[in-house]
Amino acid sequence: MKPSTSIQDYLKQIYELTENGSPASTNDLARELNIKPASVTGMIQKLASEKPALIEYQKHQGVTLTSAGKKAALEVIRHHRLLETWLVQTLGYSWDEVHEEAERLEHVISEDFERRIAAALDHPTRDPHGELIPTADLKMPLDDSTPLSALRKNQTGKILCIKGADADLLRHLDELGLTPNTMIEVTDYSPFDHNLTIKVGKKNHVLGLSITSKIFVEEK
């Protein structure tokens, strides 16, 4: 049976917190979901005792997704990213506005709806932020991007993805023209503070690590 909206939110969040390979802690989950840690423990115990189990869990050790849990998480993430793409393309949302709307819609659309928007968008592989969209058979495509912070003077690339930016930063990057699919060139690098000077269009911008580590590019 289809997991509740709450459970879908937990699974999605666990997926994201465990992408680095390490288990997700009760506290991290609580922070990300805006829920008290005690409540998270309760839900964790429930998810671990579902059959089939959706997460792997041992007291005080954090949680990881089982394959059933990962599948359910990817389903929600696919919904979310297809919806964002579609809202931007068909209703003129800007890429920094769509998140909240998709956050609510992702839980209620049918598989039929999912198929229809995927087809209407011609089966996109990345959403407006550049995040990879899980495939229809619920696999996450391989990510071939590099953080902009890893580039050095004279290297060029195409922006693929902006990760982990809040609404303010998204708007700021939009104003600078730093959006997915834009070509950029590193015109200077400061080894001291890791600042990069980036040429985008005809303008140069000096960006610190807190920004360049959130921009992912395909090196050319």
Residue 208, binding choice from a second copy, DNA, none, Cβ under 5 to 8 Å by partner class: none
Total residues at interface with DNA (CB under 7 A): 27
Residue 45, binding choice from a second copy, DNA, none, Cβ under 5 to 8 Å by partner class: DNA
| Residues in 3-32 that interact with DNA by CB under 7 A | 4-7, 9, 25-28
Q: Centre a 10 Å sphere on the Cβ of residue 108 and count the other Cβ atoms it contains.
A: 9
Residue 140: phi and psi, rounded to 5, are -85, 125
Total residues at interface with a second copy (CB under 8 A): 17
3-class SS of residue 24: strand
The smaller minimum CB distance to a second copy, of residues 22 and 94, is found at 94
3-class SS of residue 141: coil
Distance between CA 197 and CA 13 in Å, rounded? Answer: 34
- Per rule CB under 8 A, is residue 173 in the interface with a second copy? no
- Per rule CB under 8 A, is residue 171 in the interface with a second copy? no
The smaller minimum CB distance to a second copy, of residues 28 and 106, is found at 106
Task: Please select the residue that binds a second copy; options are 1, 60, 110, 202, rule is CB under 8 A.
Answer: 110
Closest separation in Å from C-beta 19 to DNA: 17
- Most distant CA pair in the chain: distance in Å? 57
Sequence-separated contacts (24+) of 20-24 with Cβ below 8 Å: 22/62, 23/61, 23/62, 23/63, 23/64, 24/62, 24/63, 24/64
Dihedral-angle region of residue 103 (phi above 0 means left; psi in -120 to 50 means alpha; beta otherwise): alpha
Task: Please select the residue that binds a second copy; options are 52, 92, 164, 191, rule is CB under 8 A.
Answer: 92
Distance between CA 44 and CA 39 in Å, rounded? Answer: 9
- Per rule CB under 7 A, is residue 39 in the interface with DNA? yes
- Per rule CB under 8 A, is residue 68 in the interface with a second copy? no
Chain positions contacting DNA, by CB under 7 A: 4-7, 9, 25-28, 34-46, 57, 59-62
Chain positions contacting a second copy, by CB under 8 A: 90-93, 100-101, 104-105, 107-110, 112-113, 116-117, 120
